[in-house]
A = this chain, B = another copy of it.
Amino acid sequence: MSLEHFIDEAISPWMRDDGPESDIVLSSRIRLARNFADIPYPLIADEGKLEEIHDFFQEKYEHQSFQNHEEFEFISISDLTGVEKHVLVEKHLISPHLVKYSDEAAALISQNEQISVMINEEDHLRIQLYYPGLQLGKALEDAFAFDDWLEEKVDYAFDEMRGYLTCCPTNVGTGLRASVMMHLPGLTMTKQINRIIPAINQLGFVVRGIYGEGSEALGNIFQVSNQITLGKSEEDIVSDLESIVNQLIGHERNARSILMKQSELTLEDRIYRSYGVLEYSRIINATEAARCISNVRLGIDLGIIKHTSRNILNELMVLIQPGFLQHFAKKNLTANERDVLRASLIRERLELEK
**Interface check A52, CB cutoff 8 A:** no
Interface string of A264-288 (1 = CB under 8 A from B): 0110110011011101111100000
Q: How many residues from A make CB contacts under 8 Å with B?
A: 16
The smallest beta-carbon distance between A28 and chain B, in angstroms, is 34
Residues from chain B with Cβ under 8 Å of A277 in the complex: 273, 276
**Interface check A298, CB cutoff 8 A:** no
CA–CA, A343 and B261, complex, Å: 21
Q: Please state if B280 and A275 are interface contacts (CB–CB under 8 Å).
A: yes
**Interface check A3, CB cutoff 8 A:** no
Residues from chain B with Cβ under 8 Å of A273 in the complex: 276-277, 280-282
Copies in the complex: 2
The smallest beta-carbon distance between A340 and chain B, in angstroms, is 6
Residues from chain B with Cβ under 8 Å of A268 in the complex: 282
Residues from chain B with Cβ under 8 Å of A280 in the complex: 272-273, 275-276, 279
Partner of A281, one of B269, B281, B282, B340: B269
Q: Please state if A276 and B283 are interface contacts (CB–CB under 8 Å).
A: no
CA–CA, A343 and B280, complex, Å: 18
The smallest beta-carbon distance between A240 and chain B, in angstroms, is 42
The smallest beta-carbon distance between A287 and chain B, in angstroms, is 16
Residues from chain B with Cβ under 8 Å of A269 in the complex: 281-283, 343
Interface string of A329-343 (1 = CB under 8 A from B): 000000000001001
Given the interface contacts A265-B340, A269-B343, A343-B269, does A279 sit within 8 Å of B282 by beta carbon? no
Residues from chain B with Cβ under 8 Å of A276 in the complex: 273, 276-277, 279-281
Which of chain B's residues has its CB closest to A267's CB?
A: B282
Partner of A266, one of B265, B272, B275, B283: B283
The smallest beta-carbon distance between A265 and chain B, in angstroms, is 6
CA–CA, A272 and B283, complex, Å: 10
Residues from chain B with Cβ under 8 Å of A282 in the complex: 265, 268-269, 272-273
Which of chain B's residues has its CB closest to A336's CB?
A: B265
CA–CA, A275 and B282, complex, Å: 12
Sample (5) of A-B pairs whose CB atoms are under 8 Å apart: A265-B283, A268-B282, A269-B282, A273-B282, A276-B280
Please name the 5 residue pairs, one residue from A and one from B, whose CB atoms are nearest each other, closest first: A276-B276, A276-B280, A269-B282, A272-B280, A269-B283
- Mark A residues whose CB is within 8 Å of B: 265-266, 268-269, 272-273, 275-277, 279-283, 340, 343
